[in-house]
Amino acid sequence: MSLTLEGKTCLVTGGSRGIGRAIALKLADFGADVAITYARSADAAEEVKSEIEAKGRKAKALQADAVNYERAEEVINEIVNDWEKLDVIVNNAGITKDNLILRMSEEQWDDVITTNLKSIFNYSKAAAKPMMRNRGGSIINISSVVGITGNAGQSNYAASKAGIIGFTKSYAKELSSRNIRANVIAPGYILTDMTGELDEKVLEGIKAETPLGRAGEADEVADAVVFLSSDMSSYITGEVIRVDGGMAM
Ligand code: NAP
């Protein structure tokens, strides 16, 4: 069997930039029609949409704050109405608001937990019925190695990313009988706008802690997403795949 996503329809939250953008483009490379959501970057999202269409696939770029449950339902309904079904959701939208616990504001805590964790509930729940009607689906939730190891200055982010792992395993246990698989990808240090804000010294330290000795590319996370989206992973559910150069082993 060859790895193909032809005939599949996918949704990537936060697909305008970084890892989400790379995922959306690679899903299209393998033959899927792809919808992306974004919060603010309308121009960047439209560019991703045009690039997907240039590959001969259908595309949508939808403004949708991932924290909003009603909007998640609208997005999924639009895809199912226009494309008949939704096979894959990649819950990728996420933010950081780093601070030491003693200095962390309630707002910093709430924003990160809501954006990174509630968003996963929103899209996974809203997709469950359409996927059940379609007799299957694949949910791929983007966590982080920080959700496994913890990280000083990122208690809000680490809690959200650890929460994603517990949520995904519970979801997999509830919905496997309906042929809906749910898995986690936990990236390590990947070059994007999000990590661009770290200073040079911190970056060097991260590289030193990574057995493969380098930062990862968004494209390398996208490779794992393609696998979990495809029928090549049909017997894998509730799994956490680290894409971290060995950082958290
Ligand atoms: P990024 O470059 O900052 O891009 C974040 C994406 O999420 C953007 O498309 C952004 O949309 C979208 N987004 C943010 N808040 C949103 C909201 N409320 N509603 C909808 N979309 C929203 O980040 P990244 O590095 O690609 O990270 C992507 C995911 O991978 C995140 O979940 C992150 O935690 C995870 N991750 C990243 C790394 C890393 O090293 N980079 C490591 C581990 C895990 P706009 O363009 O509209 O703002």
**Ligand 1 in reach of 98 Cβ (< 6 A):** no
Residue 4 lies in a domain: no
Look at residue 246 and tell me if it is in a domain: no
| pLDDT for res 158 | 98
pLDDT band at 207 (very low <50, low <70, confident <90, very high): confident
> Does residue 36 sit within a domain?
yes
112 CB within 6 A, ligand 1: no
Number of CB atoms found within 10 A of residue 223's CB: 13
The pTM is what?
0.98
Taking residues 73-88, what's their average pLDDT? 98
Query: Which atom number of ligand 1 is nearest to the Cα of residue 190?
Result: 40
What is the three-class DSSP state of 99?
Answer: strand
Residue 194 pLDDT: 84
Structure tokens that stand for 132 in this block: 């059940």
Q: How many domains does the chain have?
A: 1
Residue 214 CA, ligand 1 centroid: distance in Å: 21
pLDDT recorded at residue 180: 98
Express each pLDDT in 110-163 by its tens digit.
Answer: 999 999 999 999 999 999 999 999 999 999 999 999 999 999 999 999 999 999
pLDDT tier at 206 (50, 70, 90 boundaries)?
Answer: confident
pLDDT in tens, 16-42: 999 999 999 999 999 999 999 999 999
Question: What pLDDT, on a 0 to 100 scale, did the predictor assign at position 184?
Answer: 99
Q: Is 14 annotated as a binding residue?
A: yes
In a domain, 249, yes or no: no
- Specify the CATH number for the domain of residue 99: 3.40.50.720
Residue 22 lies in a domain: yes
What pLDDT, on the 0 to 100 scale, is given for residue 115?
Answer: 98
Which residue has a Cα nearest atom 27 of ligand 1?
19
Query: Which residues form the catalytic set?
Result: 157
Residue 3 lies in a domain: no
74 in a domain, yes or no? yes
Residue 159 assigned as binding residue:
yes
Q: Which residues contact 80 (CB under 8 A, 6 or more apart)?
A: 86, 130
User: In this structure, is residue 75 part of a structural domain?
Assistant: yes
Instruction: Please give the pLDDT value at position 163.
Output: 99
**Which residue has the CA at smallest separation from atom 41 of ligand 1?**
190
Expressed in angstroms and rounded, the spacing between residue 17 Cα and the centre of ligand 1 is: 7
Structural domain span for residue 77: 9-241
| 161 is known to lie in a ligand binding site | yes
Verify whether ligand 1 is closer than 6 Å to residue 24 (CB atom). Answer: no
In the chain, beta strands by DSSP E: 9-12, 33-38, 59-63, 88-91, 137-142, 180-187, 240-243
Q: If you average pLDDT over residues 56-77, what whole number do you get? A: 98
